Structure 1
Amino acid sequence: MIDTFKHQGLRRNLIATLKTKGIENQAVLDAIMKVPRHFFMDSAFLNFAYEDKAFPIGADQTISQPYTVAFQTDLLDVRAGMKILEIGTGSGYQTAVLTNLGCKVFSVERQKTLHKKAVQMLSKLNSTAKLFYGDGYKGLPSFAPFDRVLITCGAPYIPEDLIDQLKPGGILVIPIGDGDDQIMTRIVKKADGGLEKTTHGVFRFVPMLQNRQTS
């Protein structure tokens, strides 16, 4: 794994692109600058690693578009030391961005092949993230509560178990919709358990499948 000056230059260009698209959170931009996205991509797509596009990573899944990663991370409003539950580890790229923000990340992946690859890659990067193979709809109750919950796949509804695992005052970011497109939704769990929801545009994610794990 080599992160060359060329790669770093391409990341700087990517950061400039994200700024033109409205990403202003400097901490998020700095974290994306630190993470070599090409480490998380299949060899066939390495030459395109710093384009602002999603690419296949196997198992009918994708590595998210950098803008989407930045947008969701910005909506989470994280601070160093926060405990975050991520649903949909995928390649581990979003996981790496969150850990570079100083967060304690617990990430669940339902595709066993992707889970194994992410474990290997993040281990090579000395990541502190804790990765689990399991059903994202159930979350990780034994590690709850969490300051933040991030879903990186399209969910047909808001899983109640994930709300239950969120601290009062915590934030959940989830793309909601069971069609090709989803509405990015930010949910704040109030002290009385009530939910305050705001929507933030249309995005496209692979589906979050219920009661299913794959090998």
Structure 2
Amino acid sequence: MASSVELRRRFADALVREGAITRPEVAEAFAAVPREAFVAGGFHGRDGTWVAPDAGGFLDAVYVNDVLVTKVVDGRATSSSSQPSLMAAMIEALDLSPGTQVLEVGAGTGYNAALMSAAGARVTTVDVQPDVVERAEAALATISSTVDLRLGDGYEGWAAGAPYDRVIVTVGVAGVSPLWLDQLVPGGFVLAPVRHAGHHPVLRAARAGDGTVHAAGVCPAGFMSAAGPLSAVYAGAHPLGSGPLSPPTVSRPARFDPPLDVFRYHDMWFALGVWDSRTTYAQPPDSAGNGGCALLDETPGGGATIWPDGAVRGSGPHAVAFAETASGLIDRWVALGRPAVPAWQAPMALDGDLSQPIWVPRDWRLPGAGPAVA
């Protein structure tokens, strides 16, 4: 049986080969920090079964490029160790150097904070769940980490440790807290998975010298959603999602061979969400919980689903119209050269709860292509 040290090195090397890691200090952090210390009580496997620390193959199950869910409340995951390739992409997007001051909103297991610390950052991490903080604290203590772990409301950030060079958010949010921006040094930025069309692409948000706030796409992603003002629904926001749609009555054929991979599919999904505010996540009938991009009709069960191979399925009384609209949006994405999430930029505006507002993107654009709104 391979040791933790061997598995960590193999895992880091695999992430490098896959292109998830490009910076040596990030590779060394993944090779140095034992992920099993942060799921010491076990975790939920992909099939929902509990993987106990004394189970055979536990270490092998830990060192996979997948989410490890550590807490479920009322059937909903509320804490986890995120997918390592996504953690690596976000850590690299922070552009860390030795001594970079980082505030992390959403401590989770503590693993991500430990990785950033091992890569040279000085990390403060905050989480609102006392039991999550307690477990993360115990895990960080076992590896003698210098991470500063705090119990607090993520919306508030952590003013006592400010100013920060970077803020990284590891939970899905509807927008960016003004307090995070206030706690940054000039030229600093927030990296956050901001809700868009039923998923949470990672955005980089920063305040310009004139006080305006702007967002730019970084990468596709999926995260558990935050609670409170960070999950506010505001005017013009996309629908939050849908259960199964009605059986389809209209079909448009597949057009991508091979089908788009998960990243390119989410690139297309992002663009469709820019152009049509009815875009969100939905499930087809008998989907066993597996859904995808859809345009939702106001009629329950109605709309159109869009799949990685470009196929479109229309449901409900307006199935033909929705299928045609969805097909036209795919045409538009293809005609523009299939822009990826990092190609998009947007100004941000304050919205959400008036007492605890959030900055949200408005009028996404492709630089040089003019307004992107349909």
Distance, in Å, in 2 between the alignment partners of 1:27 and 1:189 is: 28
Distance, in Å, in 1 between the alignment partners of 2:123 and 2:178 is: 20
Whichever residue aligns with residue 38 of structure 2, its letter is: F
Alignment of 1:164-175 (within 5 A): 164-175=182-193
Alignment of 1:87-98 (within 5 A): 87-98=105-116
Whichever residue aligns with residue 102 of structure 1, its letter is: G
1:118 maps to: 136
Indicate conservation of the 8 Å contact 1:174/1:185, yes or no: yes
Whichever residue aligns with residue 10 of structure 1, its letter is: L
Whichever residue aligns with residue 12 of structure 1, its letter is: R
| Residue deviations 1:162-215 (CA, integer Å, cap 9, x gap) | 111111111211000066521111224444444443212321111121269xxx
Q: Which residue among 70, 76, 95 is the counterpart of 1:57?
A: 70
Q: Which residue among 14, 18, 22 is the counterpart of 1:17?
A: 14
Distance, in Å, in 2 between the alignment partners of 1:88 and 1:179 is: 22
Identity %: 28
1:76 maps to: 94
Shift, 1:58, TM fit: 1.6
Indicate conservation of the 8 Å contact 2:37/2:142, yes or no: no
When residues 179 and 153 of structure 1 are mapped into structure 2, their CA distance, relative to the original with a 3 A threshold, is farther
Whichever residue aligns with residue 14 of structure 2, its letter is: T
Whichever residue aligns with residue 207 of structure 1, its letter is: S
**RMSD in angstroms over aligned alpha carbons?**
2.0
Q: Secondary structure at the match of 2:3?
A: helix
Indicate conservation of the 8 Å contact 2:181/2:189, yes or no: no
Indicate conservation of the 8 Å contact 1:149/1:173, yes or no: yes
Distance, in Å, in 2 between the alignment partners of 1:157 and 1:11 is: 35
Q: Secondary structure at the match of 1:126?
A: coil
1:177 maps to: 195
- Indicate the structure with greater helix content: 1
Distance, in Å, in 2 between the alignment partners of 1:174 and 1:76 is: 11
Distance, in Å, in 1 between the alignment partners of 2:104 and 2:9 is: 26
Q: What stretches of structure 2 of length at least 5 have no aligned partner?
A: 43-50, 53-57, 231-374
Whichever residue aligns with residue 205 of structure 2, its letter is: I
Distance, in Å, in 2 between the alignment partners of 1:29 and 1:197 is: 28
| Structure showing greater relative contact order (alpha-carbon pairs closer than 8 Å, 6 or more residues apart) | 1
When residues 208 and 125 of structure 1 are mapped into structure 2, their CA distance, relative to the original with a 3 A threshold, is same
Distance, in Å, in 1 between the alignment partners of 2:215 and 2:173 is: 15
1:29 maps to: 27
Whichever residue aligns with residue 204 of structure 2, its letter is: R
Instruction: State the TM-score, normalized to the length of structure 2.
Output: 0.53
When residues 198 and 135 of structure 1 are mapped into structure 2, their CA distance, relative to the original with a 3 A threshold, is same
Distance, in Å, in 2 between the alignment partners of 1:146 and 1:194 is: 19
Paired residue total? 209
When residues 211 and 181 of structure 1 are mapped into structure 2, their CA distance, relative to the original with a 3 A threshold, is closer
Shift, 1:143, TM fit: 2.1
Question: In the alignment, is residue 200 of structure 1 matched against residue 218 of structure 2?
Answer: yes
Instruction: State the TM-score, normalized to the length of structure 1.
Output: 0.89
2:344 maps to: none
When residues 135 and 182 of structure 1 are mapped into structure 2, their CA distance, relative to the original with a 3 A threshold, is same
Distance, in Å, in 2 between the alignment partners of 1:39 and 1:142 is: 28
2:85 maps to: 67
Q: Which residue among 160, 171, 181 is the counterpart of 1:142?
A: 160
After TM superposition, the structure 1 stretch with the greater mean CA deviation from structure 2, 66-75 or 55-64, is: 55-64
Question: In the alignment, is residue 8 of structure 1 matched against residue 21 of structure 2?
Answer: no
Q: Secondary structure at the match of 2:109?
A: coil
Shift, 1:19, TM fit: 1.8
Shift, 1:24, TM fit: 0.8
Shift, 1:36, TM fit: 0.5
Distance, in Å, in 2 between the alignment partners of 1:122 and 1:191 is: 38
Whichever residue aligns with residue 106 of structure 2, its letter is: G
Distance, in Å, in 2 between the alignment partners of 1:90 and 1:144 is: 21
Q: What stretches of structure 1 of length at least 5 have no aligned partner?
A: none
Q: Secondary structure at the match of 1:155?
A: coil
Shift, 1:29, TM fit: 1.1
